[in-house]
Homo-oligomer: A and B are copies of this chain.
């Protein structure tokens, strides 16, 4: 996969992935019916946040956003979110995006990365982040209303950069 910055021209492809992932309700909290305006405000945030994507044979197969997790006195800690199209899963796009994001965050000067809400039933994501050096700081119980598992916990995960 090739990883590059997303531009406005990429939005239709990103919206397709965003909608597919959010409609499933398994990994993000947004209302599964959330519309394109909500999606775009979420996934195309203003600078200094950045949106990147992974392309394979001309298809956008995944994407991430990276930004400061908090303002001011917490702005040295990055956060990031990731989405991979269902048809592209299990082929390494998530890992490639994750590795790219960590390098990018470090080059932007962030000193660590914090994930605020990794749904605990999203075991492939949890395993990937652990493989990339993240630890589970703790788990907030019953914080995500999963469409099939009911109320499940969310992990806060962290690693230094």
Q: Which residues of A contact B (CB under 8 A)?
A: 25, 28-32, 34, 69-77, 111-112, 114, 116-117, 136-146, 151, 154, 156, 158, 160
Total copies of the chain: 2
Distance A25 CA – B158 CA, assembled complex (angstroms): 23
Check if A111 sits within 8 Å of B29, measured CB to CB: no
Check if A70 sits within 8 Å of B145, measured CB to CB: no
Distance A63 CA – B51 CA, assembled complex (angstroms): 36
Instruction: Using CB atoms, name the residue of chain B closest to A30.
Output: B72
Q: A112-B142, A140-B77, A143-B77 in contact; A70/B117 too (CB < 8 A)?
A: yes
Interface CB pairs A-B, < 8 A, 27: A25-B73, A28-B73, A29-B70, A29-B75, A30-B71, A30-B72, A32-B72, A34-B71, A34-B72, A69-B143, A70-B117, A70-B143, A73-B145, A73-B146, A74-B117, A112-B141, A112-B142, A114-B140, A114-B143, A136-B138, A137-B137, A137-B138, A137-B140, A138-B138, A140-B158, A141-B160, A142-B160
Q: A140-B114, A140-B158 in contact; A74/B145 too (CB < 8 A)?
A: yes
